[in-house]
Structure formats: structure tokens, C-alpha cells
Amino acid sequence: MPLPMKKGPPGNALSSPALIIGILFLAASALFPSESYGSAYAPAPLLGPGDYPSVKGLSPRLAVWLAAQMHVWFAAFVLAVPIFVVILEFIGVVKKDARYDRVAYEFLRVSITAFSLTAITGGMLLGALIVFYPGLMRYLASIFGPTAIFYALFFLLETAALYTYYYGWKRMAEGRSKLLHLAVGLGLNISGTGLMFVANAWVTFMMTPSGVDGAGVFSGNLWEAVNNHLWSPMNLHRFIANIAYGGSIVGAYAAYRFLGASNEEERAHYDWMGYTASLIAIGALLPLPFAGYWLTAEIYAFSQQMGITLMGGVFAWLFIIQAVIIGALFLAANYYLWCGFGRGAYGDAYIKYVKYIALVVAASFLVWFTPHTLILTPSEARAIGGQYHPYLGPLGLMPAKNTAVNMMLLFTFLSFILYRRAHRRPVAAWVKYWNALQAGLFTAAVANISFLGVYYGYFTNTVYKVASSVPQVATTLFVIVACLVIEWLMGRGGKREDFKWGRMPERSQYALILIAVSFTWLMGLMGFVRSAIRQHWHVYSIMKDASAEAFTPSIAYAAKVVSTGTIVFLAIVVFIFWLGGMGQGSEAGKDG
């Protein structure tokens, strides 16, 4: 495969740090595992405070934390963008619509600089870990040494595929070579995802170690260590979350360009781009809770203590924060859709329904973040007679929250249906009946979800409580699919006016910015708790953290660190976009 970077097209300077890091990884993999080969494996070392080098005025944990967080943010972004770039390119090929191809290329262009930053921050993370936590790294390397070769291999493959894919975009635009180009894009995604899976094995091993005995002696079966309790759920969760995250960042980029658009065409282009990106983001957000549920269930299966630390103990409030942010995401997404009614010719007719949707979404939102353990003043505690409120108490439990989430999903979907109707006027003969059917489906779904939540949640045994969420989700998914099919049937032959892209109030663009900022912050927070539930362990229950900073930080401290990280990260991203935008002007200016 010819590597175009050899010839030195503009911008290939970016690839050199990436290559250097790749070679570094190879070198590291050659250095570390050698000591354990052939010999029996040693137990996890017992470290003392003396085993951690200290640097005056620098907190090793904070350094590793921020480096890891930066790396994960960039990595999430650059792993996600190629996924939907390839999908968009494919849609463009199938639909023969050049608009998809163009926007796909722009997505990729936006993210290209982030690739080298991912590698650089990864190198910084690796360096910080080796310098500050040598004992831990030596132990992990004694087990995972061989995987570093896969890592390096995937890394080189990804780099090669990326630059071929990006620089070959214009050259491989026609006929056969377009298909080859798509195949390269697929290879890029496979190697990128493989890369993440390898790294996930190291991280999940630290949380739910397997393949080692109680003292940390490695059995020699590497696959067992890789395929630990959390590996698969974490792979899935990160894969989906990355897509949502990538979509949100591109959405924010489009929003920003929309706000600064100099003409109508540019406005329309970035409006469409922002809409597409946010649709990807929200679409990927919807299955995320279920992946998260699997992850949590595996944590509980591995250790009840870890599970309760996560959900019921010190970090219970963290999930209230999470609920608040996800609720804010839903509100923002709904607001963006509502504002989008104005793009369609028939949109005004639907604005009167918005307040009812908003009522349900907001009410579900409030239920969702109602804490089980309330903050009470002593006089309130006396009046209520205990920790649990007679009216609010039931809202704090999982069944209520499951019900609320399903309602939120369902009514967000309703917003979407109305949004679609804003530019379609079905003329099929059976419209009235189709409409009635849809309304019936919705009513039945709402009734079913409430019944399941209330009956199974509060009037039966605990075993069914968790189980009742499955039929609830099934109901929601069924209604979504059924309504989409009905929409499609109704839409056939109907009158359809094109959306007037660009006809959006500027306020709506801030919703997209909010989604990106909230995603970034939330990722940092959830990454913190994922790591923090190990408490004072490097490798949970196997290898203790004996450094001075082994204590678990409070949520408040973590929030400050995450906020700092978010600001730095977003500042870098803005800088990259600014660099990327320089000289390029707008692709859209030419073609709208």
C-alpha cells in the first residue's frame, strides 16, 4: 500500500510524533516483559511509600490523572470520528449524494490533528506512569508485556490507514478506488477499535483482576487476564460512548461555525452538519445506559463491596450529578429539535404541543435526579420522621428512575417525530387511522411503562425490580421502531418540502455547545468514579497503593480536577479547530 505521506503532502509533519510514539511503545514492550519470560511468575509486590519517586511541588497522581484524562478525551474523539465518517461516506456512495461525502471529509479534517495529540498525550501518560508508578508498571508489564506488541501493531496499522484514508480522499474518489477507500476506512476503524480493546484490558484488569491468584501470582494464561469481568462491558460501553462523544464535539464545531457563518449557504451547511452530528450523538447516547447497566452488574458480580461503593456509598451522590447532567443533555437535545420545527414548512403547527412534551420530560428529569437519601435540616427530618420522605422516598429508588428514563426517551422520540412532520404532509388515504394507531401505541406504552414501574417496582420482590426494567426498555424500543415504520408508510407519496437549513435561531446552537461541554465533563466525572472505586488499590484486592496519595479523593475535589481538565482540553480543541480552519476557509462556501 503506497503511503502518501512519503511524498510529503502538507500537514504530514503531524505524523512524525505519532510514529515516534509508536516506536517507543515497541521499545517499551521489548524492554519490560523480558524479565518474566520463562521463569515462574512472582506475586504482586508489596510496595512502601519509598517505592514512589516524589517530585517537589508536583502531585504524581494528579499528573497521571490529567494525562490519562486528556488521552482518553482525545482518543474517544479520534476513535469515534472515523466510525461515522465511514458510515457517512458509505451513505453518500449508496445515495449518490455528494453532500454526505463532503461533510464526512470535513469531519475527518476536523479530527486529523487530534490524532497526533492522542499519541502525544498517550506518550505523556505512559511516561508519567513509568516515572511515578514504576512498581505497578513493572507488575502489569510482567503480565501484559506481550499485549504491547499488539498495541504497537494496531497503532502502526491505524496510523498507516488514517493517513492513506485522509490524504487519499480526493485521489481515490472515483469508481473502484472509492470502494478501496471505503475499505481503508474500515481498516482504520478496526485497528483503532482493536487498539482501544488492548488498552481496556490493562485498565479493567486493575479493577477486576483475573488470571491471577490471591497473592497476584499470574497463572500464565494471558487471555484469562485480558478477558476479565469488565473487559467486554467496558469495550462496549466505551465504543458507544465514543461515538456519542465524537458526534457532540463535531456538533459543537458546526454550531460555532454556524454562529460565525458569513453567508446563507455557509449557514445552511453548518446547520445541516450540526444537526447530523447531534443526531449521531443522541442516537449513540440512547443505548449507553444499557451498556452501563451491564458494566455495573459485572462490577457487582465481581465484588459486592465495589458495587456498593459505587452505587450506595460515598459515590451515591455522583450519580445524582450524572442524572442532572444527562437530564440537561436531554433538555438541550429536545430544545434543539423544537427550535428545528422552524426549518420545516409545517413546523409552526406543532409548536403548541411542545409544552406538554416539555412537562413530561422535565417531570421525568426531576424524578430521575431525586436522591434516595435526602439532605434534610433537622426540623425537616423531624417532620418527615426519618431519612426517607413518604412522597419522595419511592422516587429515589431504581424502578422510579427506570420509568422516568423510559418516559424521557419516549417523549424525546415524540419530539423527533414532530420534527420530521415539520416538513412532511402525509396524503395517504389512511392518515387518520395511522395517526390514531400511533397515538394508541404511545398511550399503551406510557401505561405499560408506568404499570411495570409501579407494580413490579413497589409491590413485588426485589428480584423482579431489576428485571422489570427489561420489559420497560422493550416497550420503549418497540414503540420507537413501530412508529418509525408507520411514519415511513404514511410518508410514502406524501407531500414533502425540503427543510430550510440555516433557518435556526442562534440560541439553538448553544444547545449543541452545551451537549459537547456536558459530555466532556461527564466523561471526566464517570472516568473518575470508575477508577476511584478501586479505592486504595492499584490492582483491586491484589496490589495495594502505598503511595502518599492512595486515599480516595472526594467528589468535590474530583469535580475541580475534571473542570480544570475540561477547560484545558476544550481550549486545545478550539486551538486545533482554529489551526484547521486557517487557510482552508470553508469548504461549504463553494458548494453549500
Using CB under 8 A as the binding rule, the residues of this chain from 523 to 542 that contact another protein are: 525, 532, 535-536, 541
**Closest distance of CB 462 from another protein, Å:** 5
How many residues bind another protein, per CB under 8 A?
106
Alpha carbon distances (Å) from 81 to 78, 235, 243, 586: 5, 17, 7, 19
Give the position of cell 458494566.
295
CA atoms within 13 A on the CB side of 156: 11
Element holding 261 (H helix, E strand): none
Quick one: 437 exposed, middle or buried, by C-beta within 10 A (0-12, 13-18, 19+)? middle
What CA–CA distance (Å, rounded) separates 252 from 277?
Answer: 9
For position 263 contacting another protein by CB under 8 A, the verdict is: no
For position 380 contacting another protein by CB under 8 A, the verdict is: yes
Quick one: 391 exposed, middle or buried, by C-beta within 10 A (0-12, 13-18, 19+)? exposed
Region 164-203 residues binding another protein, contact defined as CB under 8 A: none
x/- mask, another protein, residues 503-522, rule CB under 8 A, reads --x-x--x--xx--xx--x-
| Comparison of 39 and 461: residue with beta carbon closer to another protein | 461
Question: Per CB under 8 A, which region of 160-168, 193-201, 235-243, 366-374 contacts another protein?
Answer: 366-374
**Closest distance of CB 557 from another protein, Å:** 9
What CA–CA distance (Å, rounded) separates 504 from 268?
Answer: 9
Question: Per CB under 8 A, which region of 148-156, 263-271, 294-302, 431-439 contacts another protein?
Answer: 294-302
Region 92-151 residues binding another protein, contact defined as CB under 8 A: none
Q: Helix, strand or coil for residue 37? A: coil
What CA–CA distance (Å, rounded) separates 95 from 570?
Answer: 35
Give the position of cell 437549513.
501
**Exactly one of 159, 370, 402, 468 binds another protein (CB under 8 A); which one?**
370
Question: Which DSSP state fits 537?
Answer: E
| Comparison of 356 and 430: residue with beta carbon closer to another protein | 356
What CA–CA distance (Å, rounded) separates 483 from 416?
Answer: 11
What CA–CA distance (Å, rounded) separates 309 from 589?
Answer: 53
**Exactly one of 263, 435, 554, 584 binds another protein (CB under 8 A); which one?**
554
For position 548 contacting another protein by CB under 8 A, the verdict is: no
x/- mask, another protein, residues 308-347, rule CB under 8 A, reads xx--xxx-xx--xx--xx-x---x---x--xx-xx-----
**Exactly one of 52, 105, 218, 369 binds another protein (CB under 8 A); which one?**
369
| Spatial CA neighbour of 327 closest among 525, 565, 518 | 518
Question: Per CB under 8 A, which region of 123-131, 421-429, 490-498, 555-563 contacts another protein?
Answer: 555-563
Give me 579's grid cell. 489551526
| Comparison of 293 and 434: residue with beta carbon closer to another protein | 293
**Exactly one of 377, 429, 432, 488 binds another protein (CB under 8 A); which one?**
377
What CA–CA distance (Å, rounded) separates 257 from 509?
Answer: 10
**Exactly one of 134, 286, 544, 587 binds another protein (CB under 8 A); which one?**
544
| Comparison of 429 and 582: residue with beta carbon closer to another protein | 582
- Cα angle 503, 268, 337; round to 5: 50
Question: Per CB under 8 A, which region of 20-28, 177-185, 217-225, 546-554 contacts another protein?
Answer: 546-554
**Closest distance of CB 421 from another protein, Å:** 16
Quick one: 191 exposed, middle or buried, by C-beta within 10 A (0-12, 13-18, 19+)? buried
**Closest distance of CB 517 from another protein, Å:** 5
| Spatial CA neighbour of 387 closest among 297, 452, 316, 293 | 316
Q: Return the amino acid letter for 259.
A: L
Is the separation of the CB atoms in 243 and 84 below 8 Å? yes
What CA–CA distance (Å, rounded) separates 63 from 479?
Answer: 47
Region 427-446 residues binding another protein, contact defined as CB under 8 A: none
Question: Per CB under 8 A, which region of 96-104, 174-182, 256-264, 275-283 contacts another protein?
Answer: 256-264
Give, to the nearest 10 degrees, the angle between helix 264-285 and helix 231-259. 160
**Closest distance of CB 360 from another protein, Å:** 11
Region 383-412 residues binding another protein, contact defined as CB under 8 A: 383-394, 396-397
Region 22-51 residues binding another protein, contact defined as CB under 8 A: 45-50
Region 456-475 residues binding another protein, contact defined as CB under 8 A: 457-458, 461-463, 465
**Closest distance of CB 565 from another protein, Å:** 10
Region 47-86 residues binding another protein, contact defined as CB under 8 A: 47-50
Residues contacting residue 1 through CB under 8 Å, at least 6 positions apart: 160, 164
**Exactly one of 552, 581, 587, 592 binds another protein (CB under 8 A); which one?**
552
Region 566-585 residues binding another protein, contact defined as CB under 8 A: 566-567, 570, 574
| Comparison of 85 and 504: residue with beta carbon closer to another protein | 504
For position 358 contacting another protein by CB under 8 A, the verdict is: yes
The DSSP bridge partners found for residue 55 are 58
| Comparison of 463 and 582: residue with beta carbon closer to another protein | 463
The DSSP bridge partners found for residue 357 are none
